[in-house]
Structure 1
């Protein structure tokens, strides 16, 4: 086993214990192929499924897999109008399963997220019966402070560059605490516990996924 893979596995084992203490069910998959199988095994046929924007989910090709299955899918990308898209945003909050990633996860098991529109963190907090979080081990941080730095100075700048937005961080590569209309950092949410216990499930992946 390569050193990085071993490092990921060792850290994941400890992290899963911390997640369990916070009411979150944890899983570890060595690669994205295993992660896809794990996520699909958690979905019950005949249920409704939706997701938040996530490059990690894109890497798993999970959306296509869900569309092929026996699920009612709330996918805003399929909307033919802004009105329909808005309706799907609300339907997602009442789904049986909501798939997402996390911007960062601390060694003691907290999920740290900064969101623009707020739909992703809204679903994480309340609404969907089950939330499945998929995260590459590259998102593991020492503590909350380290997690915030990661999101503000790595995840957010890369995402604004990907979206070709003209935010200060897209230009300089680091957070400037901007408050303009183009800012993607509207809501900061720290998830300490899953209420009810077991609602949030975290699938850790031994690869670098997402930003």
Structure 2
């Protein structure tokens, strides 16, 4: 990382929403959608209060650089780490950082090194879901204190719901919504559309789908510090 940079660059810039909306005609109608924009300070404060009332640990940061350093500080040396696909993590340079030399055991790299897809899937189910720290984002965070996300295969929701010892959620303020009804709408009408555009570009498939949909209403009563949320005042991901 250059000394001039406060965080690593995003090496997946073609998969940001701003890039995809220009390259994918199906996504173009959502170009100026309100869900692409950060919300007010008051709504950030409301989401933080709601999440904390639900028992989650939350810290609010101003920008991508602060988010990068906040995540880095949360993971102790020697920990095993895996990540779901997350444009938000890419945008703060954390995926770029994980691909280099770190003080952690990057399990994601071990999984991707397996070329047999059946064996790779088994690694995702086993070591990928049971790491010390699982890093991800959400499709929505409600002002009432819930975390909401979805995936196609189940590998993401499984690791977040129970598998990993600790979960770190990085989320931009553009993902703050009023309640669970709006979280469902944001996930299925906006996030899936954007992720489908990414999937078309990355994998050459028709799109993606929210086959597994998860609402985490409160922190685990037996391990309340397990899920930590880094809430960024900027817009990140989709």
TM-score computed with the length of structure 1 as normaliser: 0.85
- Residue 234 of structure 2 corresponds to residue 204 of structure 1: no
**Equivalent residue, structure 2, for 1:27:** 59
- Helix, strand or coil: the match of 2:127? helix
1:192 to 217, 223, 228: 217
Distance 2:215 2:177 in 1: 13
CA deviations 1:135-189 (Å, max 9, x no partner) are 010001111111111111111011112211325xxxxxxxxxxxxxxx5221111
Instruction: Say which of 56, 63, 71 aligns to 1:39.
Output: 71
3-state DSSP of counterpart to 1:91: coil
Residue 95 of structure 2 is aligned to residue 68 of structure 1? no
Of residues 72-81 and 91-100 in structure 1, the stretch that sits farther from structure 2 once superposed is 72-81
Structure 1 window deviating more from structure 2 (33-42 vs 87-96): it is 87-96
Q: Which region of structure 1 is more displaced relative to structure 2, 111-120 or 82-91?
A: 82-91
Which of 112, 115, 118 in structure 1 is aligned with 2:151? 115
Look up the SS of the partner of 1:56 in the other structure.
helix
Structure 2 segments unaligned to the other structure (5+ residues): 1-36
Measured in 2, the distance between the counterparts of 1:31 and 1:122 equals: 29
Measured after TM superposition, the shift of residue 49 of structure 1 is 0.4
Superposed CA RMSD in Å reads 1.7
Question: Is the Cα–Cα contact under 8 Å of residues 31 and 205 in structure 1 kept in the other structure?
Answer: yes
* CA shift for structure 1 position 13: 2.4
**Number of corresponding residues:** 192
Superposed displacement of residue 63, structure 1: 2.3
Q: Does the Cα contact within 8 Å between 1:51 and 1:100 map onto a contact in 2?
A: yes
Deviation at 1:21, TM superposition (A): 1.6
Q: Partners of 2:160 and 2:128 in 1: how far apart?
A: 11
Distance 2:95 2:61 in 1: 19
**Which residues of structure 1 form unaligned runs of 5+?**
168-182
Q: What TM-score do the two structures reach when normalised by structure 2? A: 0.76
8 A Cα contact 1:117 1:184, kept in partner = no
8 Å CA contact retained: 1:103, 1:151: yes
Runs of 4+ in 1 over 4 A off after TM superposition: none
Name the SS for the 2:89 alignment partner: helix
CA distance in 1, matches of 2:97, 2:206: 34
> How far off its partner does 1:65 sit?
2.1
